[in-house]
Chain A
Amino acid sequence: MRHVAGFGVFAAALLAAAGGVAAKEFRFSTSGDILTMDPHSQNEGPTNAMKSNIYEGLVERKWDLSVQPALATAWSQPNPTTWRFTLRQGVKFHDGSPFTADDVVFSFKRNTHKNSDMKNYLSTVEDVRKVDDFTVDYITKGPDPILVQNLTLHFIMSKAWTEKNKTETPVLGSTDETYATRNTNGTGPFRLTERVADTRTTLEPNAGWWGRAEHNLTKATFRPIANPATRVSALLSGEIDMTFPVPLQDVPRVNAAPGVKVLEGPELRTIFLGFDQWRNESLDMKGTGKNPFKDVRVRKAFYQAIDMEAIKRVVMRNASTPTGHMIAPGIQGFDAETNKRAGYDPDAARKLLAEAGYPNGFPVTLDCPNDRYVNDEAICQAVVPMLSRIGIQIKLNAQTKGKHFDKIGKKEDNNTSFYMLGWTPGTYDGHNALVNLISMRGQDVGSWNSGRYTNPKVEDLTQSIAIELDAKKRNDMMREAFTIHKNDFGHLPLHQQALAWGVRDSVADIKQAANDAVYLRYTRMK
């Protein structure tokens, strides 16, 4: 082993002397550290992005979010509940051990352990069976049209390594630590060389990677910087090559500075407002026995009273895309027709309120986070006067995300009548939004349907979409479900916020993925 390393150093020196191959280190930063290196423990965007540099699934997402083969080379569906995968041969883990079907079977078990926060992606899978060393069958409980998409976040670990280091089960949240929390052994294009929590995570290319490297990095360093002003300063001073997110108010300054620019693009998360349509008496109208939000005219009035273009221009400094849909472009099931927003029309809104029997408005509290989404509190502050103008007596309750999600979530029994929430379907599929936000029939359905919107037709469609294998039919059903929901004004979609990556000109090429993930395998330095 030492000889190999020695040879590597020698070869690198030789290359450097011959072709002037300088060290190409990519240093990047965001506000918080990744939560764990264990691929089956925490389910969080930036953490999943970092895992995918080191670990791979049978399939993977490209930077444009399309699905492509990774550890599997081909797959087929012999019957509606079986997916058969042919595995890639000759793949080695970072420690040199070979990758086989046993690792896939083992990783399935580890990934679906009760402690895993990543098990949702495999919730439809009954079992994984080894057919031979390079063939596995995924048996699903019922037909699952989006299994392959979900497998992009099912990372494969080495059975032997995991057993040797006694980390056969993942830990629940961050309640404990195992060997895999800080150490890795994947098959991916990068391997972990150093991890100091909250300070530095260093990766180096995996020389034995099966794929052809599109990047030209010799090292990548991730350094979290909590304070946004410091993070932007570090970019301007050249201590880091890339940072995200750049605060909206700093975007013009960064663009004006020499040698740096801001890459902007729409994000997958949709920000929306929701109404309590369940209680017979609104929480803000105790003693009246009324809940105005049960009337579609009131919901429509709210929709028409909010001037999204003004919010985009003033609050978001044009870094947002107003939307009429509950899912963003890039999510399976999106369609442009549903995305069209009805116009801003406060007069019509006032008329609707009067028709509904509230000519003088009614009291309501808007629950809003103040540290979760881009300018979340500022958006709510802009909404308040817009609704006051049509006569609503609105109060704003903005608080930290932990408190906010407790209040509007199941923990406090959806203790809200009007709230802000943002959602990115973790599966990149519209069904995820239907299940979590828009319906409530069945177990574990509607976990963030905080206003408890429900429509029998949408519930039926949601259940059919879950098992429909024909892609076209499935898309049609999604369009229908989202259109019904839109006409019901079940929620009030606001916009997709913009990604803002600050990049130095030392970076030759970087791909901005709409899920805000930094895919090192496409990053090139000058």
Chain B
Amino acid sequence: MIAFIVRRLIQAVVVTLVVGFIAFGLFHFVGDPVTNMVGQDTTAEEREKIREQLGLNDPFIVQYGRYLGRVARGELGVSYRLGVKVTTVIKERAPATLELALCAALFALCVGVPLGVYTGLHREGLLSRFFLTISLIGVSLPTFLIGILLILVFAVILGWLPSFGRGQVTQLGFWSTGFLTPSGLKAMILPAVTLGLFQLTLIMRLVRSEMLEVLRTDYIKFARARGLTDRAINFGHALKNTLVPVITITGLQIGGIVAFAIITETVFQWPGLGLLFLQAVQFVDIPVMSAYLMLVGIFFVIVNLVVDLLYYVVDPRLRIDRALSGGH
């Protein structure tokens, strides 16, 4: 088990290095950051001096190597756009993104799983058809459009919810949370729904098809014959057996949530890592872009690791297999 985790962590390092390498290779194509860093009246020599000072004239392999050297010492550099240390910026922005991703994932799971079970059990029900139609919208509409539509309805027309920002945040040590104030909670609703909607529909459709599959199996029929309650059959036996694929997909989707947060955060001016990254791309803010990409790489590897570990919790068969193979 420990060997497995260590192996995965080594993989994480390799993934990060590769992501960083590709990222640095691509930075050549996004333009010259110095154009954005100085005013229009700055002379060509001045610009050249800044470029030299930032090491932008070196080949990208050299830049990458130097960057890795700094990262090894725990320095991620200074943002070209904000003039603030990248570690500081990321520490400031990460809570916003993580809270948003958490809410979106919870929303997707807590609504998606029951809806999936319901539509699986009542295949022909009117309500089921309604949910499935709605879910088509969630799958097919792009995130930014859903965001804008929600803003139009709930902020502009109804005036119930704020259209942008995080509301009032409370500082708990380095962690800024929006969970403790009414305005913070209200501000969370629209972005979380926007971000979670796609995942919700995906989970709902997945649970539904798995449920339909499982409900046809013999052990469910035997359970019914034994006279177990519907509740025990549907949730204790059927649902539990659908969970392995659901966990896999959900886990991978959490990575997706963080990645898709770029669009949601831009629409709602959510001060998280996604917005930071998009602005970094527009400004050619290389230190922020590289740190973000490597961070997301690490994040994906960790999510995958957690998903693998969760299999053992959910599916006893895997534990038995492992024990047997260990005994050989």
Q: CB within 8 Å of B: which residues of A?
A: 32-33, 35-36, 41-44, 117-118, 120, 171-177, 181-182, 196-199, 223-227, 229-231, 233-234, 236-239, 371, 400-403, 405-406, 409-411, 423, 426, 432, 436, 444, 447-448
Contacts and interface: CB of A to CB of B under 8 A. Distances in A.
Contact of A223 (B78, B165, B267): B165
B83 A227 contact: no
Contacts of A223: 164-165, 269
B80 interface: yes
Interface in B9-44: 30-44
- Give the interface residue-count category, chain B: 35 or more
A176, A199, A371: which has the most chain B beta carbons within 10 Å?
A199
Given A227-B266, A405-B35, A197 B156 contact: no
B53 interface: yes
B156 A410 contact: no
Contacts of B95: none
B202 interface: no
A181 B84 contact: yes
B40 A226 contact: no
Contact of B269 (A118, A176, A224, A400): A224
Given A174-B78, A226-B275, 19 more contacts: A35-B82, A43-B41, A173-B38, A173-B83, A175-B54, A175-B83, A177-B84, A177-B85, A198-B82, A199-B271, A229-B151, A233-B148, A234-B163, A237-B155, A237-B163, A239-B163, A411-B44, A426-B39, A436-B41
Given A117-B42, A198-B275, A448-B40, A237 B35 contact: no
A29 to B, nearest CB: 9
A41 B41 CA distance: 14
A406 B35 contact: yes
Given A174-B82, A423-B40, A400 B31 contact: yes
A41, A226, A371: which has the most chain B beta carbons within 10 Å?
A226
Interface string B36-61: 11111111110100100110000000
A227 B269 contact: yes
Contacts of B148: 229-230, 233
B47 A411 contact: yes
Contacts of B5: none
Interface stretch (B131-139, B276-284, B307-315): B276-284
A64 B265 CA distance: 37
B268 interface: yes
B91 to A, nearest CB: 13
A233 B40 contact: no
Contacts of A171: 83
Given A426-B40, A426-B41, A436-B41, A227 B81 contact: no
B120 interface: no
B142 interface: no
Nearest to A173: B37
A279 to B, nearest CB: 18
A173, A174, A196, A236: which has the most chain B beta carbons within 10 Å?
A173
B159 A237 contact: yes
Contacts of B32: 402, 405-406, 411
A483 to B, nearest CB: 25
B281 to A, nearest CB: 9
A238 B158 CA distance: 12
A432 B39 CA distance: 14
Q: Is the interface of A mostly helix, strand, loop or mixed?
A: loop
Contact of A406 (B31, B41, B45, B89): B31
B276 A198 contact: yes
Interface in B107-142: none
B42 to A, nearest CB: 6
Contacts of A199: 165-166, 271
B80 A173 contact: yes
Contacts of A33: 82
B275 A230 contact: no
A174 B80 contact: yes
B255 interface: no
Contacts of B47: 410-411
Contacts of B50: 172-173, 175
B156 A237 contact: yes
B267 A181 contact: no
A227 B151 CA distance: 12
Contact of B43 (A224, A238, A447): A447
Contact of B156 (A224, A225, A236, A402): A236
Contacts of B278: 226
Contact of A177 (B33, B78, B92): B78
B266 A174 contact: no
Contacts of A423: 40
18 contacts: A43-B39, A120-B41, A173-B37, A174-B78, A175-B50, A197-B89, A223-B269, A226-B275, A227-B269, A229-B148, A233-B164, A237-B159, A371-B282, A401-B31, A402-B284, A406-B31, A436-B41, A444-B45
B199 interface: no
Contact of A234 (B41, B42, B164): B164
A175 B81 contact: no
A44 B38 CA distance: 8
Contact of B162 (A197, A227, A239, A371): A239
Interface in B52-97: 53-54, 78-85, 89, 92
Contact of A402 (B35, B82, B84): B35
A402 B83 contact: no
A192 to B, nearest CB: 16
B175 to A, nearest CB: 15
Nearest to B154: A237
Contacts of A237: 155-156, 159, 162-163
B306 interface: no
Contacts of B232: none
A426 B41 CA distance: 8
A402 B30 CA distance: 7
Nearest to A45: B39
A198 B41 contact: no
B180 interface: no
Contacts of A181: 83-84
A197 B163 contact: no
Contacts of A43: 38-39, 41-42
Nearest to A426: B41
B76 to A, nearest CB: 13
B279 A198 contact: yes
B223 interface: no
B318 interface: no
Contacts of B279: 32, 198, 226
B152 interface: yes
Contacts of B267: 227, 229-230
B268 A120 contact: no
Given A175-B50, A181-B84, A199-B165, A230 B40 contact: no
Given A176-B83, A177-B78, A225 B42 contact: no
B165 A409 contact: no
Contact of A401 (B35, B38, B156, B164): B35
A230 B268 contact: yes
Contacts of B41: 43, 120, 426, 432, 436, 447
A174 B81 contact: yes
A432 B80 CA distance: 27
Contacts of A409: 35, 44
B163 A175 contact: no
Contacts of A36: 83
Contacts of A444: 43-45
B266 A226 contact: yes
A117 B39 contact: yes
B269 A197 contact: no
